[in-house]
C-alpha cells in the first residue's frame, strides 16, 4: 500500500474563519457597481472569461483555506458581476444574441408549446434538462439504497471471490465500468460507493485512508471507463446530440480508451488495497448491521427490490429514446425510474429516501450560476473565436486532437464536464477529422472531470458522500492529492493512444 494520503482524521483541523454569505454577496454587489462604472472603458469578452475563471478558482480557495465561503455564495454572489459585464459588452462581429426560445426542436412537441418554450429556453441558459436529470437520478439512487440492494450485491460478490478483498473490489469495479456505459455513470457512482463502504467496513479498512483513495478511483471508473457508450454520462449525450455521433462511433473510438483507463485503475486499486481476506464473522456482522438499519420489514425487502429493478426499465428505455431523439427530455428517464422504484417503499422509507436525496441534490445548486455564466460567455462570441483559431490552425490533426484533449481535461477540472461538452462540441461541428477531435474531447472532459470535486456529477456525489459519512473536514485539495497521480498516468496513456489512433485511422 503506497502513495496514500495521510489519514485526514489523524490531526485536528486548523481553525476556520467562516465568511457569511450575506457579507460575501454585499462585497460582490459593490464590485458589480464598480464594474458598471468603469465597464464602458474596457468591456471585452476576455474580461468576462477572466471573471468566470476567477469564480472557479475562488471555489477551490474558499473551500480549502482557513477562510471559508459557502460554494453557493461564491457562485451566486459572482453572478451580478458577470451579468453586469455581459450587459456592457459591445456587439462585436463574433457576438450572437443570447439564444432563449428559438429552438427548432419545439416543433415536435405540439400541444405543449408554452411548457416547451420555457423548458428549452432554460435548457439553453442553465442546462435545465441536465439539472432535472440529476435531480431524478439522485432520488432514484437513494430510493434503491433504501432497499439495501447495493449491500446485498456486495455480499454476493465477496462470497463469489472467496472473501478475498482485492478480487472482490476488482469484480465490483469491472461490473461498474460496464454498467456505467449503459445505465449512466451518475446513477452508478452513488450505488458503488455504498457497496464499497460496506465491503471496507467488513474488511476493517479505514475509510479515511485507502478507502478514500478507492472511492475517488470509482469516479474514474464511472466516467473515463464508462465513456464506451453515449449513455455513459450526460456530457456524452450532449456530444452525441450536437455532433450526431452514432453508437458505432463510441464503440470504435472511445471503447479502446476506456479499456486503457480501466487497466490503469485496476493497477491503482491493487496498490492501494492491502492483501486481505474478509472473515465470515465480519460478513455476518455486516448482515446484522443491514438488518438493524433498514426501515423495511423482512417480507417487504424482496418486493421493494423488485420495484427498484423495475425502475431501471423506464430509465434505460427513455435514456435510449433520448439518444435517438434529442427532443425527448433527458430528465424523463431519471424521473420515471425514481417514480417506479418509489412504489415499492413504505411511507417511512420513502420519506428517508426523499430527505437524503434532497440533501445530496443541494450539492449541485452551485452549478446553476456557472451554467448561466457559460451561456453568457458563449453569446459574447468568446467560443466562436476559439473555433476560428481551430479552423485556422496549421499544426496537423493529431497534434490538434491532443491539444483539444488537454484543453478539455483542464477546463472540465475547473468548470464541469457538462459545460465543457456543450461549448467544446460546438467548436468542431463540420470540421475535417471531426471523429478524432470528438474522441479527444470526450476523453479529455471525462478524465479532467475526475480531478476535482466539481469537475463532474460523479465527483460531486462522491465528494458529498465523503463529507457526510467519512470526514466533514475533507478538502478539495485532499481530493486532488488522492487522485492526481492516477489522472496523470491516464492522461499520458490516452495521449499516446490518441496519437496512435490518428496515425492508424486518419
pLDDT of residue 441: 95
- Cell 429556453 found at: 121
Query: C-alpha angle 361/232/446, rounded to 5°?
Result: 85
pLDDT at 105: 45
Taking the C-alpha atoms of residue 203 and residue 170, their distance in angstroms, rounded to an integer, is 15
d(Cα 450, Cα 484) in Å, to the nearest integer? 9
Q: Are 498 and 405 in contact (CB under 8 A)?
A: yes
Exposure of 246 in the CB half-sphere (CA atoms within 13 A): 3
> In this structure, are residues 464 and 358 in contact, taking their beta carbons and an 8 Å threshold?
no
Res 499: pLDDT: 96
Query: Which residues have CB under 8 Å from 118's CB, separation 6+?
Result: none
- Report whether 198 contacts 158 (CB < 8 A): no
Query: Residue ranges per domain, the chain?
Result: 16-89, 127-363
Q: Is 443 left (phi over 0), alpha (psi -120 to 50) or beta?
A: alpha
In the predicted model, residues of the chain with pLDDT beneath 50 are 1-11, 101-112
Longest Cα pair distance anywhere in the chain, in angstroms?
73
DSSP run (H or E) holding 503: helix 476-505
Q: In angstroms, what is the C-alpha Rg of the chain?
A: 23
Is residue 173 within 8 Å of 216, Cβ to Cβ?
A: no
Residue 410: count of CB within 10 angstroms of its CB: 15
Assess contact for 353 and 194: CB atoms under 8 A.
no
Contact between residue 5 and residue 212 where contact means Cβ atoms under 8 Å apart: yes
**Residue 27 contacts by C-beta under 8 Å, 6 or more apart in sequence?**
77
- Return the pLDDT at 1: 36
Q: Mind listing the pLDDT tens digit for each residue in 268-317?
A: 999 988 888 888 888 888 778 777 778 888 889 998 999 999 999 999 89
For residue 406, give the nearest of 491, 318, 300, 316 by alpha carbon.
Answer: 491
> In angstroms, what CA-CA distances link 24 with 28, 41, 166?
6, 26, 47
Q: pTM for the complete prediction? A: 0.80
Res 113: pLDDT: 58
Q: How many helices (H) and strands (E) does the chain have?
A: 23, 2
Question: What is the pLDDT, as a whole number, of residue 7?
Answer: 43
Amino acid at each position: 500500500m503506497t502513495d496514500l494520503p495521510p489519514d485526514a482524521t489523524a490531526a485536528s483541523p486548523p481553525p476556520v474563519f467562516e465568511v457569511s454569505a450575506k457579507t460575501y454577496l454585499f462585497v460582490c454587489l459593490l464590485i458589480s457597481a464598480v464594474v458598471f462604472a468603469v465597464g464602458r472603458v474596457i468591456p471585452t469578452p476576455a474580461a468576462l472569461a477572466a471573471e468566470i475563471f476567477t469564480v472557479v478558482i475562488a471555489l477551490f480557495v474558499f473551500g480549502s483555506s482557513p477562510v471559508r465561503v459557502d460554494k453557493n455564495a461564491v457562485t451566486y454572489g459572482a453572478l451580478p458581476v458577470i451579468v453586469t459585464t455581459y450587459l456592457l459588452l459591445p456587439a462585436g462581429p463574433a457576438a450572437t444574441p443570447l439564444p432563449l426560445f428559438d429552438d427548432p426542436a419545439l416543433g415536435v412537441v405540439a400541444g405543449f408549446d408554452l411548457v416547451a418554450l420555457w423548458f428549452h429556453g432554460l435548457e439553453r441558459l442553465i442546462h435545465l434538462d441536465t439539472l432535472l436529470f440529476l435531480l431524478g437520478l439522485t432520488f432514484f439512487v437513494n430510493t434503491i439504497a433504501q432497499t439495501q440492494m447495493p449491500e446485498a450485491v456486495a455480499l454476493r460478490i465477496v462470497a463469489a471471490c472467496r472473501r478475498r478483498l482485492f478480487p472482490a473490489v476488482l469484480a465490483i469495479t469491472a461490473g461498474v465500468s460496464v454498467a456505467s456505459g449503459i445505465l449512466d455513470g451518475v446513477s452508478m457512482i452513488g450505488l458503488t460507493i455504498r457497496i464499497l463502504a460496506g465491503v471496507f467496513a467488513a474488511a476493517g479498512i479505514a475509510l479515511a485512508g485507502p478507502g478514500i483513495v478507492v472511492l475517488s478511483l470509482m469516479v474514474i471508473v464511472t466516467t473515463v471507463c464508462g465513456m464506451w457508450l453515449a449513455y455513459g454520462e450526460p456530457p456524452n449525450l450532449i456530444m452525441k446530440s450536437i455532433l450526431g455521433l452514432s453508437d458505432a462511433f463510441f464503440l470504435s473510438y472511445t471503447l479502446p480508451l476506456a479499456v486503457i483507463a480501466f487497466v490503469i485503475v485496476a493497477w491503482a486499486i491493487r496498490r492501494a488495497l492491502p492483501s486481505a481476506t474478509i472473515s465470515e464473522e465480519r460478513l455476518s456482522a455486516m448482515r446484522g448491521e443491514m438488518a438493524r438499519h433498514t426501515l423495511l420489514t423482512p417480507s417487504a425487502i424482496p418486493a421493494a427490490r423488485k420495484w427498484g429493478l423495475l425502475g431501471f426499465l423506464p430509465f434505460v428505455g427513455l435514456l435510449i429514446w433520448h439518444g435517438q431523439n434529442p427532443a425527448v427530455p433527458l430528465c424523463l428517464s431519471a424521473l420515471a425510474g425514481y417514480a417506479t422504484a418509489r412504489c415499492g417503499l413504505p411511507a417511512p422509507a420513502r420519506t428517508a429516501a426523499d430527505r437524503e436525496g434532497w440533501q445530496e441534490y443541494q450539492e449541485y445548486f452551485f452549478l446553476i450560476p456557472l451554467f448561466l455564466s457559460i451561456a453568457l460567455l458563449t453569446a459574447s462570441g468568446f467560443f466562436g473565436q476559439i473555433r476560428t483559431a481551430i479552423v485556422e490552425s496549421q499544426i496537423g490533426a493529431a497534434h490538434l486532437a491532443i491539444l483539444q484533449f488537454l484543453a478539455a481535461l483542464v477546463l472540465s477540472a475547473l468548470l464541469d464536464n457538462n459545460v465543457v461538452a456543450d461549448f467544446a462540441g460546438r467548436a468542431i461541428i463540420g470540421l475535417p477529422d471531426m471523429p478524432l477531435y470528438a474522441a479527444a474531447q470526450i476523453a479529455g472532459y471525462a478524465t479532467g472531470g475526475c480531478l476535482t470535486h466539481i469537475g463532474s456529477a460523479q465527483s460531486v456525489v462522491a465528494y458529498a458522500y465523503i463529507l457526510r459519512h467519512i470526514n466533514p473536514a475533507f478538502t478539495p485539495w485532499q481530493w486532488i492529492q488522492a487522485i492526481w497521480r492516477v489522472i496523470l498516468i491516464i492522461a499520458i496513456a490516452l495521449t499516446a493512444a490518441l496519437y496512435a489512433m490518428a496515425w492508424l485511422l486518419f
